[in-house]
Amino acid sequence: MSVAKKQYKRITVKSLIEMKANKEKISMLTAYDYTMAKIVDDAGIDVILVGDSASNVMAGHETTLPITLDQMIYHASSVIRAIDRCLVVVDLPFGTYQGNSKNALDSAIRIMKESGGHAVKLEGGSEISESISRILTAGIPVMGHLGLTPQSIYKFGTYTVRAKEEAEAEKLKEDAKLLEELGCFALVLEKVPAKLAQEVAESLTIPVIGIGAGSGVDGQVLVTHDMLGMTHEFNPRFLRRYLDLYSEMTTAFKQYIGDVKSLDFPNDKEQY
């Protein structure tokens, strides 16, 4: 079922800004490999995020901090080989852009050159404005990310909702305005109160894509493995599961094990 207001052969950063102007919501999901990216793109998603959540989902780390630039490039290049239509945004990993704008530009250039990604995403506001500006001067589109920024987990201490207090909400609003003024083409807002997220979305012309940020924003993003129910230990309130793949895959694996052990597989037709 498509409820698109305009058909796009290829999604660009301009398409997303147009979608916001046309009040068409933007759909975004994560992918880290060729096979998943092909299914997600063929289904008609607008944006694939090669998120640094690959650190958790693909590598089993507790946080997003350990993933390296080389590993992000590997994931992003696998995704790029799969897609025909969607925009591919690649996370700059922790330690590759904070504090040194030359380092940030070098990292973003490596992502674009070596993976073929279409844009980069960075976490943070005014404290990384120099890095964002420098990346933008090279013609690389930048997506911002405010609210819960998992690369700062050791500063926050928990993954709970951000910006519930007035001072943090004010800083978030200022940062969102700044990111738009610097030239970011879109912004992810993670785990913030829905009212605040709507206020930010309404105050900007660039699209705001939410995760745990309510329905008043311009689009939604989820981690694909979570919405497919492959990760069953992660149960935040904002997550809608569209499948229970953990159970379905477990059933299939158990059946296969049973078939092998009982000599049911392979049968006469399944051999040469």
Active site residues: 190
* Minimum distance from residue 190 beta carbon to ligand KIV (Å): 6
Helix axes 34-43, 69-80, angle to 10 degrees: 50
User: What's the alpha-carbon Rg for the chain, to the nearest Å?
Assistant: 20
Which residues, numbered 229-258, are part of the site for ligand KIV (CB under 6 A)?
A: none
Q: Minimum distance between the CB of residue 161 and ligand KIV, rounded to whole angstroms?
A: 14
Retrieve residue 68's tokens.
């390296």
Q: Which of 13, 16, 26, 30 binds ligand KIV (CB under 6 A)?
A: 30
Name, in order, each residue with C-beta under 8 angstroms of 249's C-beta and a sequence gap of 6 or more: 230
Give the residue with the Cβ less far from ligand KIV, 41 or 190: 190
Among 77, 76, 74, 18, residue whose Cα is nearest residue 46: 18
How far apart are alpha carbons 232 and 213 in whole angstroms?
Answer: 21
DSSP 151: G
Per-position x/- string for 190-229, each x denoting binding to ligand KIV as judged by CB under 6 A, each - no binding: x--------------------x---------x-x------
Q: Where are the beta strands (DSSP E) in the chain?
A: 26-30, 47-50, 87-91, 119-121, 142-147, 186-190, 208-211, 219-222
Taking residues 33 to 72 in sequence order and writing x for each that binds ligand KIV by CB under 6 A, - otherwise, the string is: ----------------x-xxx-------------------
Tell me how far, at minimum, the Cβ of 262 lies from ligand KIV, in Å. 41
Nearest distance in Å: CB 215, ligand KIV: 17
Cα separation, 102 vs 37, whole angstroms:
31
Pick 53 or 198: Cβ nearer ligand KIV: 53
Residue number with the smallest Cβ distance to ligand KIV:
51
Task: Using the minimum distance from each CB to ligand KIV, give the nearer residue, 143 or 267.
Answer: 143
Minimal distance in Å, beta carbon 267 to ligand KIV?
42
Residue 105 or 146: which CB sits closer to ligand KIV?
146
Q: How many CB atoms lie within 10 A of CB 159?
A: 15
Chain residues 138-197 in contact with ligand KIV, contact rule CB under 6 A:
188, 190
Tell me which residue has tokens 């690389």: 140
- In this structure, the number of other CB atoms found within 10 A of the CB of residue 151 comes to 23
Interacting residues with ligand KIV between 67 and 106 (CB under 6 A): 91
Write out the residues near ligand KIV by the rule CB under 6 A: 30, 49, 51-53, 91, 188, 190, 211, 221, 223
